[in-house]
Structure 1
């Protein structure tokens, strides 16, 4: 009963018990409209109340389980779409890096170094796309059966080292 507030659970049980007692008094063979209703609660009434409360508890437990399953399914589908988005973006980055490496001629050592760096970035971007595609598929399968355990995510691919002289604080510095 983790998803259902405790006070609501007790209210449902209390109402079920009282409705059972009221119904048993109205439908009892002993009750005659001209005579007052009996004061005590009989064994049959108690057993009916217990059976109804047990049925309610089972239904609430099943509802709670379904609610948790739906929540997990939603989380896994969200992660799947997230990784699909990043895979698409990584493929675009790889295209951009490859097009950028074609712009530079290999006249100087610095340009060759930067061209190699851009190709390494394109390779890493394609690896990231494969990484995100594999995670997208993993979470799509997890969404189909959300109660099964899901393996932890593998570490993402590592970025290549920037060439000497290209610092992160100066991304738009022209190449000599």
Structure 2
């Protein structure tokens, strides 16, 4: 099980990523876009992901359902990051379009419980905030998918001089 962080505007500098790794964080993830105006507040650049990679794991690159799934897939492959479709109202809400997007991109899926019903993805990241550290990669009261999982269990807060979310992730997301 790997402790992980993700952030938007707070792209980790090398010293922040190194401090996080020294404190037991093995993954730091961000956002990717292939074009402008798709609902992502602050897309990262390739070298931002390279800095995050200093934590040890392969970063997750969250992306928008308003973006081109094929272009996002190509960019994620080029940058060696795990592509993950972020399904939430502030970006693009849950709907009929999700499975087609996942199929075209070969991406993982991020969201709350209803997002996962009947969906096939490369991996799954559950967003739910219980108020304490669950020490688990998936909520015990929800059906667990058979693919790699993660649980973003703490929303925006400050760590390592950055505004981040925190989660637990299966070893799949760790170092090769």
TM-score by length of 2: 0.18
Bigger fraction of residues in strand: 2
Largest Rg, 1 or 2 = 1
Bigger fraction of residues in helix: 1
TM-score by length of 1: 0.18
